[in-house]
Structure formats: structure tokens, C-alpha cells
Structure 1
């Protein structure tokens, strides 16, 4: 590439350093510019987080690559790049597996990457992460000039990520929130780039800096516990314990003992004094999962602790003072529970000082592929595979799904699909023969693949199913009736029906087509 062309690509990036851009847009522009300077099929920026590398921006890779977490010990190319400390190109015939095999987003292209180079980015005098370039044909990066250009470009890339980091810190200070540190491991975290998830992440950062009690609501399987962990991790109590308790799993006769503790002899089997969850969470956070399952008498006793910070162990008259922040979660409509008399109004208002709603997966657009990438990499690591990918049909099937079971359903679906793919290629994990495994729509059969195409009406059920409909047929009929009734109430207006059904309009229209309601 000529010098003038290189300058033409780099000058806008220098100007961007002074602009207040969203971080993802700033990094996307960086990678797009790099691919105009060097002839790569894909580029990626990965942040170093303990023993893991997390992609924060990609260009030319499939969408699910952004959701993956790469353990450095399992990817020798990444380890060598980190150890080199400067721009490094791997020989085209290198036997080391490439983490991006099968992930370059070019239809009908070879799955394996044949030319790869990268370099470490430094920020604040320490490694921040990696910048990588990949090509599908050998010799694309031949010659020393490519390495020199990449090394020079890495300085601008380091300045770009440093600018993004500083802007994040300034925004955190503006909200009086401490800037969050990257996790030291690939513990599950809030993933997503949809507008709904970006808003949730902003709300989490805002409330985490306060001492307010938080009520997390959302459907089953949306990740409410992850939100609770995120609030705690970004709070001033992050160094103190986060104690969790599943209220739905507690027998009625043990609820008080678990929450408040008990004195010796308080009941049969109480052979010693015991601290409850509140005392264990002193100066930290207590997470009450499925809080809507608590009985009214227990709610009354919890209310006293929330109001005064004082409790009595079961069987004891002694007062104990605790300093605890409470985060509660439920999939129920607690306001409706109050109206029905199953929840105390004062207890509800004490809990929901700051409500957080976790969006359903069907409201998160293409986040499904990002999350699928996370679960694919988990399965790849667990099974010792060289690579694990989705073909185009499988990606389309995932995007077409309505996801009634949300993220948990997606996780289980991917795990089942991997096992099915392994069953037809049993040698994929044989010693010394680990290779890439591709999941197709057929591997997702029975769930995603069984859904009718978006443009086709629902197929009539066989006669024996019509006489005794199964669960799937009953669910489809129920969904169809709900949509039809809502449209009728709103005069055929899809936007109004979507608001009533708490769905994205586009997702509602796609679901309606699959249910045979015609093209909206």
C-alpha cells in the first residue's frame, strides 16, 4: 500500500481521538482502518483479563466471535504473541492451531486461517491486550513491511484504547461510580450489544455506586443472578462477601434459621449457635433469589431488618446489628402479588427502591449469536476440540427462534447440538486428532430446526395430534391466540400489540409469520 493511502486511512483515526464516540464505534473504526492498510480478511482487538482474552471489537469475523472467551493456556498462538511483546507473524505452515479457524466471515471460503500476525498493545506501561490480523490464503502478509506497518499501527491502537479507557473513567466519575476492573477470570458476565442490554449495563453501573436496595425482575432464564453479581462487583462492597440464598428452595420451618441464624437449643437439632445469611453478608451484599416465594410472616420479619438493620437469631432475645445491602430477584409481578394480598406492600417498596428489568432474549436481536459464541467456546474447551462453529443455516435458525426459555434455553440447546454433532463425527476428539466441528441446523433439530420458516404458514398437525395435542402444539396454539386477540383489541396495529405483549415489534411479526398468521 502506498504511503499516501496509508495516511488517508490513519488521519481520520487521529481525529477520532478528540471525539466523544461510543467505545464500540471507536474500536470498530480502528479495525476497519487497519484492514485498509494491511490486506487482512479479519481483524480483532482482544482485551487481556487475567488468564483470558476477551474480544472487544471484531471486523471480518462471524458475529458469535464477539461472545467468545479464549483461555490463553489453550491457545498457543495467543500465548506466543503475548510473550513476544512486539509484532509477530506465524509461518504459514505453523502447526499451532489458530483460534479463528472457521470464524472468518467469508461465505464458501476455506475454514482454516493460513496467514496470521498480531502484536501486544500496551496501556499504562502494562499489556492491555492483543491486536490480531488473519488471512485465508498463505503469503498474504509476506515480507518485513507488513510487520513494520502493524507495529507502527499498534501505537495508534494503544492510544485509541487508552482514550476509550479514560472516557469510561470520566463517565464513571460523573455518575460517582468507581471504574470497574476487568474480571480476573471468564466468569459469566453480562454479554450483549443490543440497545436493551446497553441500557441495562448503564443502569447497573449507575445503581451499583449507591447503597440502594435493588429489585431485579425478568423472565426465567434471562440472567437475573448475573445482574446481581454485576451490581455487587461494581459497588463499594465488591471486596466484601456476596451471599446468595434461593428463597424458593427453603422449607418453611428453616427460613428464619437460614436468614437470621439460631441460638443453641432453638429447635430440635440446633446443637450450637449459628449465624444466618444476613450476618454472613455483614458489610457486603445479600442476594435474595425468588423473593416472591417468601411467606407473609417471613416478609414481616425481613421488613424489620431492612428498616433498622437489627435482627434476632431464632430462639434468642439478643439483638444483632448488620450492615447489608439487599438485592432481590423474581420472575413474578410483585405489584400484582401485592394487589392479590400475597405480598406486603411495605416489604415490596423496601425491596424495589431501584428496579432493574432484565430483557428477554427475544428482545435482544442479534445478541443471540454473541451468546451462542460464548457457549460454543465453553463446549470447545470442555471437549478438547480444535474449533467449534455454526454454519449459516444454524445461525439463521438461532436468529429465527422466539426463545421462550431465554439464555438458559440457548445454553442447553448449544450443548445438545454439540453432542449431536459429535455423535456423527465420533473421532473429532480422539487423541491427537482434535479438529474443527461444525454445527448445522440439523444438530439443533427438535428445537430451532423444527420451527417453521418465517415465510411459511404453520403446517397442519397430523390427525392423532389434533385429537391429543402435545405440549408444543398447545404452546403454539396459545401464542397464536394471544397475538390474534391483541391485534383485534388494537385494530390490527402491530406496534400497539407488541407493547401489550412486551415484545419487540419485529420479533412479534416474525413469530406471527411462523405461526401462520400471514405476512404483516
Structure 2
């Protein structure tokens, strides 16, 4: 049996003490483990409920950090989680390995021959896993249980320390509560977290953490599809109002009466169709946060009433004479340039300044360096679960194609492209195979893939009266074209336009589009 060297333990202790941040701390831990145990790949994963999130990897593709593993869907991970001791899998084990096909610098889909997992416990609670993979058969048979126990204890302590330091950096007075918050919510599934390691995303996270603990109103700016709603949820989750409601309202294409009723509520009979009294979104969000998506679309008359809420905290339901006081934090988002809207008279300057106490700009995907591959792996794992693949990964040519593309539709477009590619790859593939998505599966026009969006020549500018009128003209023509293409089917048109059916119908009404036997505008 092989035992760990005492000098190695001293080395890792000094390394961890000198670490500047969690990422550095995790990397040093894995480097030390690889000195003690020869392996081709090692991964540290944090556990939140039934989801394992990679926190650091070595020997695996870097974009593996974008994946999220549901324990019940991965037999090896489930077996490690269910154990209190290190788990050595036999070389001929037929259970699928979650990292098959993801080893770094390996040609072809070579499954791992040896696999071992260490459950990481802190105060009798499982907080994560450490997995080690080797291309050699029976690579871990001679390692002593004592060595593995020491490594597991060291890894668990490192993970616990990282969580505690993160909590202390957020709020010293709430450290204990926030550690619990982190272990339960820091590794959320299905789009619940901001994924990315680029400089602009790290800066955005820093800004979110800074403003979240205050009670300032927040204005989130960014192009369509960049993830503004996710930023709003993150602000609320890190705020002191996190135990209270987060209420969502899409302001796009709401008429003045409907917008006022949605925001402030209405009495029975206040307008046609108001067959009962209904509370508004502000009352539902009392004590918590209201997220006003596409706030730039609000009618001017409603903007003035929203300003009153910001100034006095009072709302007046439609059809009622009485006012009610609410305590609500406003997080708003828009893809419009509100300063230009103010110049053209489409948005109130005083409301803009009230909302933008602390603006957050979400960067487009084209500015996020290699985040596109991290996000692609995140969406690959989602598609793998939905479609029942053993493993899905990107080939080198597919990765290159994704990196060259300009991403005018941002993260939302990437998700749709990966989903379609996975669906195409399912044809002719067995669920038990490791399936690689190639450039053929990635539906990006070659001319667009070869030239980033910001480098493409702009179409000749038309002479327009204003930015708003030009935008509405374009929306009108596009919607009419898509509706005719879909034979007047609203659901089909909404799917092609990547929007909600209800929002599309409301926008069309505002633009004067309706359906009889033909599309009329």
C-alpha cells in the first residue's frame, strides 16, 4: 500500500494558506492531489441538494466547469454520494462515467479505465465530491485507505473554508446564515447562476455583490438574450429581501390601462373585463422585489404613476380612491438606450434617474471571450438529460465554429443552437454512445461564422423620422412576414421569433397588426 508523504501534507497546508481566492485555492489543492496520486484527471465538485457543480478540474476540458450533474442521473456519482468511504470502481465497471469523452488532450472517445471517488463530509454533512480518473487499469488498487482518508479530509476542509470565506466577504455579520445560503443555493440548476470566467463577467459579479446588499433600485442594461432576468434574480437572491417575493412583470406592449392594472391592481368593474378585484404586482411584491422587464416599453402616463411609487411608496389601484403603502425594491431591465428615448420624449428623465441609482450592464456574448464554450457545455448537459444521451460533447471544429460566430442573439441564441444540434445528432446515434456534435450539426451560416458581428458591414441606413419609428416599422414588417409564413398561427410565429405568444399578440395589436383571412398592417 502507498501512503501519503508528510512533507506533501505540509506543502499543501502552506499552499492553501497562501491562496488569494477560492479558484486559486481549489487549483492548488488539485495540483497537490495529483502529486500524491497519479491520475489523468481530477475534479472537485460542490453539492447543492441533488446537483453537483464542478468547482475546479485538471486533466479535463476547461469548459467542463459549465456542466451541472444531477446525482440521480449519474450512477457513479450517486454511488460515491451514498458512501461514507472512498469508492474504487473496478476497471471493467460498466457504469457510465460522467467524464467520458471529456479528457483533455485525448484523441477519440476513450472511456476512462480506472475511476475513484471520495465523498467530502463537513460536520457529518456531505458538501461535495472528489473524483479521480486514470487511463491505466487498476491504477488505484495500491493506495492505502489512510491516504485517501487524509486527502478527503483535506479536500472537505478546503471546500468548507472556501464557502465560509465567501460568506464572510459578502457580509461578516451574517456569515453563518450566508454559509447555509451558499451551500443550498450557490450551485443552482437550470440557469440559476451566472456562468462565465471572462473579465467582463467577473466585473459584473462584483457589481452585483456590491449593490445587492443595499436597497438601491437597479437598472439592468443589455441586448436581447444576454440574461438580464438572471441578473435580476441574482440581485434579489443576494439581497436582504431574499426571503420575500420576487415578482416579475414584462412591460412590453402593455396598453396604458392594462399596465396600470397589472402594476397597481384594480377594483371590480374598473374597466371592461374587470369582473373581480385583483391586487397588482406591487402589492404582491410588498416586502420583496419587483422586476420590471422591458421597462422602456411602459406608456408615458404609467411612467408618471410609477414615479409616484418610487417617491412616496404609495399605490392607487385602478377604480379606487384609496391609496396603499408598499415597501418594494425595484429592479428594472431594458434593451433600449433610455437616454436616447429621453431625448425623443419616449421616456421620462426623472424616472430614469430614480431607476438607475446603480446601473448594471450585462455584456453581450461576443465580448465574453471563451465563455461561449463554458455555456455550450452547460447547455450540452441539459440537452443530454432531456434526450437521454450517455454523453454529449463538442468536436474541435464545432468549438471553433462557435468561437468565431458573432452571436447577435447572445446566450439565448447559443442555447437554441446547441439544443437543435443535439436533436440533429440524435438521429442515427445510440443513447449509449459518446456523441460528438460536429460543425455540421451547428446551424450557423458560414459567412456569419467567419466574421464577428461587430466587424460585418452595416446595411445602408434609411432616412427615418426617429429611432422609435424606425424600430416599430421594422417590427411591423418582420411580424407580418413571419405571420404570413406561419399561415397566421400566433404560436408558430412566436416560436420563430423566440418570444412569448402573449407578448407577440400584445405587440402586434400596438403596431396595428391583426389577422382576418390575411395579415393586415
How high is the TM-score relative to the length of structure 1? 0.83
Provide Cα deviations, 1:448-487, integer angstroms capped at 9, x if missing partner.
6962389xxxxxxxxxxxxxxxxx9x99332899xxxxxx
SS of 1:240's partner is: coil
Cα distance change of structure 1 residues 106 and 247 upon mapping to structure 2, 3 Å threshold? same
Using the alignment, how far apart are the partners of 1:86 and 1:3 within structure 2? 17
8 Å CA contact 1:17–1:163 kept in 2: the answer is no
The residue that corresponds to 2:502 in the other structure is none
1:428 equivalent among 409, 427, 430: 430
Q: Does 1:325 align with 2:329?
A: yes
SS of 1:18's partner is: helix
SS of 2:103's partner is: coil
* RMSD between superposed Cα atoms in Å: 2.4
Q: Does 1:297 align with 2:304?
A: no
SS of 2:96's partner is: coil
Q: Which runs of 5+ in 2 are unaligned?
A: 462-521
Q: CA deviation at 1:94?
A: 1.1
Cα distance change of structure 1 residues 3 and 273 upon mapping to structure 2, 3 Å threshold? closer
Q: CA deviation at 1:263?
A: 0.8
1:265 equivalent among 264, 269, 272: 269
Provide Cα deviations, 1:261-289, integer angstroms capped at 9, x if missing partner.
11111112212211011111111110000
SS of 2:440's partner is: helix
Aligned residues: 455
**1:28-43 → structure 2 map (5 Å cutoff):** 28-43=27-42
Using the alignment, how far apart are the partners of 1:246 and 1:212 within structure 2? 21
The residue that corresponds to 2:458 in the other structure is 478
The residue that corresponds to 2:127 in the other structure is 128
8 Å CA contact 2:48–2:188 kept in 1: the answer is yes
8 Å CA contact 1:441–1:448 kept in 2: the answer is no
**1:356-367 → structure 2 map (5 Å cutoff):** 356-367=360-371
SS of 1:131's partner is: strand
How high is the TM-score relative to the length of structure 2? 0.82
Q: CA deviation at 1:176?
A: 7.7
Provide Cα deviations, 1:389-430, integer angstroms capped at 9, x if missing partner.
11122122222222121111111111111122222x2x423x
Using the alignment, how far apart are the partners of 1:2 and 1:264 within structure 2? 78
Q: Which runs of 5+ in 1 are unaligned?
A: 455-471, 482-520
8 Å CA contact 2:253–2:297 kept in 1: the answer is no
Cα distance change of structure 1 residues 326 and 99 upon mapping to structure 2, 3 Å threshold? same
Q: CA deviation at 1:247?
A: 0.3
The residue that corresponds to 2:357 in the other structure is 353
Cα distance change of structure 1 residues 115 and 398 upon mapping to structure 2, 3 Å threshold? same
Using the alignment, how far apart are the partners of 1:404 and 1:440 within structure 2? 21
The residue that corresponds to 1:374 in the other structure is 378
The residue that corresponds to 2:189 in the other structure is 186
Q: CA deviation at 1:298?
A: 0.7
Cα distance change of structure 1 residues 8 and 368 upon mapping to structure 2, 3 Å threshold? farther
8 Å CA contact 2:100–2:109 kept in 1: the answer is no
Provide Cα deviations, 1:284-310, integer angstroms capped at 9, x if missing partner.
110000000111111001000111110
SS of 1:43's partner is: strand
Using the alignment, how far apart are the partners of 2:129 and 2:266 within structure 1? 53
**1:370-449 → structure 2 map (5 Å cutoff):** 370-423=374-427, 425=428, 427-429=429-431, 434-447=432-445
